[in-house]
Structure 1
């Protein structure tokens, strides 16, 4: 699944792939999040807005009947290597949102 494809479902979870292949900076990362997570137009494209959106099931794609969300982050290694400070912040946002929101799981894919 690429970042342009819709999510798919697993029992109890809506699965979304956040493909970061080719992401060069925070602005690119935020645009990928907007597309993959189907965030609303008013999304602020900053770390706080991302944390708020990940922690709020009402803005998740296919948010129906208390279903959970699994975000699978792929293609992240180059971004992490070239923008380590930004990546650290992104990891912290993902981890804190998942810790606060039991219906959210964020998984970093290690393969291609």
Structure 2
């Protein structure tokens, strides 16, 4: 197996890891929104914490890729890696907004149930 082929397989494996972990996090965050909409704020916050764990795993996989390149390895970009990066970044953005969104849902829930 050539070094280029091995590198491409490593990049694909890392890309798939990022997609999987970020996808799991996104699913948890979307479910957290559904829970908050239904007034289940404890479960929503638990799901956000689970999403944070998955985001950290995705970020660790991303760091492996960055380390390879920083160490001088010729890293071949692939569609899987691009998809992984896109999924991770949009999921991180959603996560960054979740505290505000959950707080707003909770305020609305309290006001509607006075």
Q: Name the TM-score, length of structure 2 as normaliser.
A: 0.33
Larger strand fraction of residues? 1
Q: Name the TM-score, length of structure 1 as normaliser.
A: 0.33
Larger helix fraction of residues? 2
Structure number, greater radius of gyration: 2
